[in-house]
Amino acid sequence: MELARTLEDDIRERGLKRGDAYLNAADAAKMLRVSTSTANRALQLLSSRKIVSRGQRKGTFVNDLSIETSLTTIRRVQMIWYEYAPLTGGFTADPLMLGLQRELPHAMVQFNFIPVADGRHHLETVLREALETTDPVGIVLTRAPFHAQKAVQQSGVPAVIHGNLWPSIEIPWVNSDYEMIGQLAGGFAIEQGAERVVCGYNDRLLLPGDVLMTEALKDVLTQSGLPLSHFQFMTVPDDADAAAEWARGIVGSCSDCVVFVVYGESTARAIRDAVADRAGWKRRVRICVIERTEEDDQSPEFAHFVCRAGVEEIGQQIARLLAAQAEGTNVGGTSVVLPVDLVPAERGA
């Protein structure tokens, strides 16, 4: 976001007008002293905000910077990310921001990473600033605790929850279908011939989506005839040694297949490494990742869930709900539930 703002300032300072040629990605990279791919993302943001137009083999051209938006248009979006929520660089942040700015081209997007331990104070500061400014502001909460959703609801600031709602909260929300995730995870466990199914959740906070997934998974397993005593759910510390010890204790108590359903590749790798050096253990363990927090050029090592809507499309859905509220439309607890697919592992576990 800062790089895009630097480029916008450069356009204004140079007095460029509509139709004037501007920097390509390589020239912007030199000016900003960053990689070409990073500069290209900054130019993409300017294009999404209609500040420049870009065409393959045509170059970058300045649009009319004097265009004004209506007073009700969201001018600033505060993205509030709690420290346990998955986010990895361009994999999540960049496409989400592009989606937001395709729908809200004149809005500035600011990311706020809030620690769980002192989250109330940080959130109060963001809300106070939103209420005091004269520019229309929108709030986006990602996988937020109850007190955060309640505080935002009471503030009256246009807001969208990127996650599921807690009871009594009536804010528009957008999230993957966690009930569907539970159903697919149950089907995966049955296909693997699981003797025991273990769900490992983040040790900092159990969220409404986790409960929906757990209930759906449990229903599928019980309908298949697996005794409830063979289904466990527990919190797992975000620590490789603790996760490995946790996995060894579970696998060591079983003689047949164990399916782990966990958050993030770091926990999945800890389980994989914990059983790798034990005779016969590796072939009895299957791992399914609920939310993939990493992306690389290799084939996925673990089965995992993918939202059919891309991250950019999710950003657009969020932006539309914010814009509707700014324009006075009562969208209440409108929900956008996005279907998911289970992607099998292509290597490893």
Indicate whether 94 and 170 sit together in one domain. Answer: yes
Q: What is the DSSP string of 94-139?
A: HHHHHHHHHHSTT-EEEEEEE-STTHHHHHHHHHHHHHH-SS-EEE
Instruction: Go through the chain and tell me how many residues it has.
Output: 349
What pTM did the predictor assign? 0.79
Has residue 347 been placed in a domain?
no
pLDDT in tens, 102-161: 888 888 888 888 876 777 888 999 999 988 887 889 999 988 899 999 999 999 999 999
Structural domain tally of the chain? 3
Instruction: Check which CATH number belongs to the domain holding 270 and give it.
Output: 3.40.50.2300
Q: Are residues 251 and 300 in the same domain?
A: yes
Tell me: do 283 and 208 sit in the same domain: yes
**Domain for residue 139, yes or no?**
yes
Between residues 279 and 262, the one the model is more confident about: 262
Cα–Cα distance for residue pair 174/170, rounded to 1 Å: 13
Pick the residue with more confidence: 349 or 294? Answer: 294
Residue 51's Cα: distance from chain center in Å?
27
pLDDT in tens, 155-194: 999 999 999 999 999 999 999 999 999 999 999 999 999 9
Contacts (Cβ under 8 Å, ≥6 apart) of 69: 75, 106
In a domain, 318, yes or no: yes
- Give the CB-side neighbour count of residue 169, counting CA atoms within 13 A: 25
Asked whether residue 349 is assigned to any structural domain, the reply reads no
Please indicate, yes or no, whether residues 255 and 326 belong to a single structural domain of this protein: no
Query: Same domain, yes or no, for 280 and 210?
Result: yes
Q: What is the pLDDT of residues 75-105, one digit of tens each?
A: 899 999 886 655 443 345 678 888 898 888 8
Residue 69 lies in a domain: no
For residue 67, being part of any structural domain is answered with no
Residues 211 and 241 in one domain: yes
